[in-house]
Amino acid sequence: MNKKLRNYITLFVAVLIAIVLTNFVIFDNVTYASVPDEKMEIADVPSWYASRDTLDNGGIVTKHFPTISYEVYVKPKNTQKVLMSKFDNQTYMIEMQKAKLIQPASDSPLKNFTLVYAIVLLALEAVVVVWILCMVFKLVQSIRKGEVFVTKVSKYLETTGILLTVLYLFQFIGSYVIMQYFIREIRLAGYYIVFRNDCNSMYIITGLALMIISQIILMGKDLKDEQDLTI
């Protein structure tokens, strides 16, 4: 086993452990206390979100204004109080774990950052998709020629794995930075924001798996070369 393969396998195992921890464990060491003026209620649609105008013929036109929204994971501050639904002789306790926060686009301090982040992420995803399509085409050509255990096939797979890993890391770092800002700056009535890793972990798992396979192919090439020399 070469050094590169050993490193990739070690990294693969470490990443699996990290994904399990970040997906199933909420890292929250801060204690929050409710304050008397906290209030969460069902209210009318705010004027900054939408307006409704009545036409002369009696019709109603709804106009929506620019807003920006964020999806965050939340936990209740007071575990002794719960949200209950009672309707038609049916009673349920509602546990809210994820919420969508909406505010006017002009009031969002992260508007420019999230826009740049989304554009860069989209561009990176496009690069990965185009590269994978090109790689599949080249791999099919190599297989048709009977060239499976060759250096260029290994390089294709390794480069694809690196791109997928970079894509995941970019997603994770971006979401982590945004969530940490929300945790420190946003205050919700009855709830507080927590960080949860909801990035697509298949990117990095597939990426590292391809990097491992690329090294196995190189080992196969070396064995084939040794057999050819022996013959």
| pLDDT digits 0-9 by tens, 164-181 | 999 899 888 888 888 888
pTM recorded for the entire structure: 0.76
**Cα(29)–Cα(47) distance, integer angstroms:** 37
Distance of CA 174 to the CA centre of its chain: 9
Cβ-defined contacts of 129-136 (< 8 Å, 24+): 131/159, 131/160, 131/163, 132/160, 135/159, 135/160
pLDDT tens figures, 177-226: 888 888 888 888 888 888 888 888 899 999 999 999 888 888 876 676 66
Structural tokens at position 167: 């894509």
Whether residue 59 lies inside any domain: the answer is no
Tell me whether strands 50-54 and 60-64 are parallel, antiparallel or unpaired. antiparallel
Whether residue 166 lies inside any domain: the answer is yes
Whether residue 153 lies inside any domain: the answer is yes
Whether residue 152 lies inside any domain: the answer is yes
Domain that holds residue 123: 3-28+109-187+199-230
Structural tokens at position 22: 């970040």
Residue 173 sits at φ, ψ, to 5 deg, of -65, -45
Tell me whether strands 90-94 and 83-87 are parallel, antiparallel or unpaired. antiparallel
Quote the number of domains for the chain. 1
**Nearest Cα to 183, choosing from 29, 40, 18, 37?**
29
